[in-house]
Structure 1
């Protein structure tokens, strides 16, 4: 079996910084971290890290639609973390709608 020669991963050239791209996308409408990840081409974890910085830089204009449990309807209104929670504190369900973000 022949092995293919490995080529190093070369990222695409960007005109804007990642945060500028995220800001432009969020001004257009509400998106989840997973959707942003696919559009910008970085991991979800990196998107969340950039969103934390954007929240500070935008002085609270980054709006988050809170995650919600699909089983009991509990809404995570007071949650400060941007990452989707693992379980619902009320029913222990794991079917939770991801938070979405927009710039207001």
Structure 2
């Protein structure tokens, strides 16, 4: 059987940059990195990298609702990293909500 030649990857056409799209979405509502990744069409890891840049560019106007443990209710208030924690320091549970973001 003959194999068809592989077509090169063509990224989707964008009118705005990824960061402009993220900023517009975050001005409207509170969203997690996972939700943003689905709306913008990039990986969650890339979203987190863009959010780090936006946090410094917006001079602290990027508001983060911290992750919370679903087992014991511990809230990660003092956490600076944007990525979801892996485990609760109190009860060791891995059932943790994703942090959500908005622009205030």
The TM-score normalised by the length of structure 2 is 0.96
Aligned to 1:46: 46
Alignment of 1:6-85 (within 5 A): 6-85=6-85
Describe the superposition over 1:4-55 as per-residue Cα deviations: whole angstroms up to 9, x where unpaired: 4321111111101100000000000000000000110111000000000000
Structure 1 residues 2 and 74, CA, compared in 2 at 3 Å: closer, same or farther?
farther
Query: Matched residue of 2:49: which SS?
Result: helix
The TM-score normalised by the length of structure 1 is 0.96
Query: Matched residue of 2:38: which SS?
Result: helix
Deviates more, 1:54-63 or 1:1-10: 1-10
Tell me, in whole angstroms, the C-alpha distance in 2 between the residues paired with 1:92 and 1:74: 11
Q: Give unmatched runs, 5+ long, in structure 1.
A: none
Alignment length, in residue pairs?
A: 104
Query: Matched residue of 1:48: which SS?
Result: helix
Tell me, in whole angstroms, the C-alpha distance in 1 between the residues paired with 2:22 and 2:37: 9
Kindly report the root-mean-square deviation, in angstroms, between the aligned alpha carbons of the 2 structures: 1.0
Q: Give unmatched runs, 5+ long, in structure 2.
A: none
